[in-house]
Structure 1
Amino acid sequence: MGSFTLAIQGLNQVLLDNSAVNINTVNELFDDVNAAFEGVKAVHKKMTDASIKPRKVSLKVILLGASNVGKTSLVNLYINKTFSNECIPTIGVQKVTVDNKVDMDVWDTAGLERFNSLGPVFYRGVDACVLVFDVTSRSSFESLDKWHKESLKQINRDIPFVVLGNKIDLINRMVSEDMARNWCMKNNNNIPYFETSAKFNIQVEQAFKTIAKNALAQRPEQDDNEIIKLEENTSNQDRRGGGSWCLC
């Protein structure tokens, strides 16, 4: 079993065993997870330095937002093609291969929003960020400001964002599409916005495909002549789940 898998399992076990776990303990465990993840990226870099073309590019994508907005459901639907109304609140890291060209590790913060600030370790090495809110919850929409500012502060460099207004299948909507798009226009040079439903698989794949394309285009080490082009239409054969480290 790889060190990355072991590190994730150790983090999840602590969260499950102790609901009052201290944020410092969580950050120490995140150090182990990130060290293993950086090891994977280092292998790709060594292959490139040795003029050996790596099989795929690796991206780290994080999901941020208030509790119960559907972050874990969105990830599970995109990667595993499954939906459930119930999920154990754990840190999840799931790998997906896009167009057989990009390995995208999607980090889900499920359960740790109670700390309000996740700390610098979680944000280390991030290539892109997905902000999620529930269209039936005004407070989750208003919390986007907090998560956006927190991520900009912790990452301290320019990365692409995507905003997802989730649960559009529900009838008691409190946040209009215009409100969400206006927020995106005012922040970070018009952040791409998608209205999604994890339950009915509405625009979920398009949203993750956009974040992958934008993250690739913004990688500083990516030569302009060697930017990997992702197909506009992704079939089930082009997007494969490559393993997961989530107990939900």
Structure 2
Amino acid sequence: MPELSKMRKPDVKVVILGDMNVGKTSLLHRYMDRKFKDTMSTVGGAFFLKQWGPYNISIWDTAGREQFHGLGSMYCRGAAAAILTYDVTNWQSLAELEERFLSLTDTANNDCIYAIVGNKADLIDPQAQLLANQDGLTADWERTGEPRVPSACLTPPASPISLSGVSVNKQVSREDAEALYGRILRYKGLEETNSLPADKMCFETSAKTGYNVDALFETLFDMVLPSVLKKRTEREGSPTVDLEECKGTGKRARAACC
């Protein structure tokens, strides 16, 4: 009964952080609604609920605007995973993650998992562009039965291109994102040798074409699931006290004294 499951308290919380216009809300709509939407800037925050097997996962979309910055720590409270999002064509959006948004995660769980996500990969990566036909277009093999032969090579071209024809440059490399991930671990006082490796926790995605979006969310969900199971086991194994029985015991004790 999906209606009842949606009314349950979420088992785990995921929060997505990043500067305005990096595509946080578009990433969530791509994953939840399976389509790309041109969205307005988020005001305050928004709440999504995803059923993952028998579990309910709440995903919090936060505003990147400076005036809503103070709300971020509230949305991060109790988070099991944080998605720190930047724009691969905007170096400042990566710097903002460390300067403005990382401190907001101080209210997250001690075992919070961090993912560094570079969105808008379709602007600089031909492989991400190839998925563009999934965004409301009919694929060539659906029309003719033959797969489309890409005109662009799978390695980045010498000159920057984009689907819109406007030249853009990739300003943030994967190495830059992995270096930030290492600094996050040090900020949290975590040993890199005992933490998830950077190459597993740094993603490049495209909300417009869907490139790597499912991989991002489902990888995180698989990682936080063990912590959910552990906490449930601890709750089920903890001793409980029957208050009604205690009340009865107290009455009997007082009666014996009289």
- The bucket for the TM-score relative to the shorter chain is 0.5 to 0.7
TM-score of the two chains, using structure 2 as the length reference: 0.59
**Distance in 2 between residues matched to 1:111 and 1:194, nearest whole Å:** 20
Report 1:75-90 matches (<5 A): 75-87=28-40, 89-90=42-43
Task: Work out which of the two has the higher radius of gyration on C-alpha atoms and give 1 or 2.
Answer: 2
Q: SS of 2:179's equivalent?
A: helix
Structure 1 residues 186, 121: CA separation in 2 closer, same or farther (over 3 Å shift)?
Answer: closer
Report 1:14-163 matches (<5 A): 40-41=8-9, 58-87=11-40, 89-90=42-43, 91-98=45-52, 100-110=53-63, 112-118=65-71, 120-147=73-100, 149-155=102-108, 157-163=110-116
**Distance in 1 between residues matched to 2:64 and 2:102, nearest whole Å:** 20
Aligned length: 172
Q: Which runs of 5+ in 2 are unaligned?
A: 1-5, 125-167, 186-191, 237-258
Deviations 1:172-200 (A, max 9, x none): 21111221122223432345011100011
**Matched letter for residue 182 of structure 1:** A
**Matched letter for residue 201 of structure 1:** G
8 Å contact from structure 1 (residues 95, 106) kept in 2: yes
Moved >4 Å (runs of 4+): none
Higher relative contact order (CA 8 A, sep 6+): 1
Partner of 1:205: 214
TM-score of the two chains, using structure 1 as the length reference: 0.61
Q: Which runs of 5+ in 1 are unaligned?
A: 1-36, 42-56, 227-248
Is the counterpart of residue 183 in structure 1 residue 180 in structure 2? yes
Q: SS of 1:169's equivalent?
A: helix
**Distance in 2 between residues matched to 1:81 and 1:114, nearest whole Å:** 30
Is the counterpart of residue 174 in structure 1 residue 171 in structure 2? yes
Deviations 1:106-132 (A, max 9, x none): 110135543333254322232211110
Q: CA RMSD in A?
A: 2.7
Structure 1 residues 119, 66: CA separation in 2 closer, same or farther (over 3 Å shift)?
Answer: closer
Q: SS of 1:215's equivalent?
A: helix
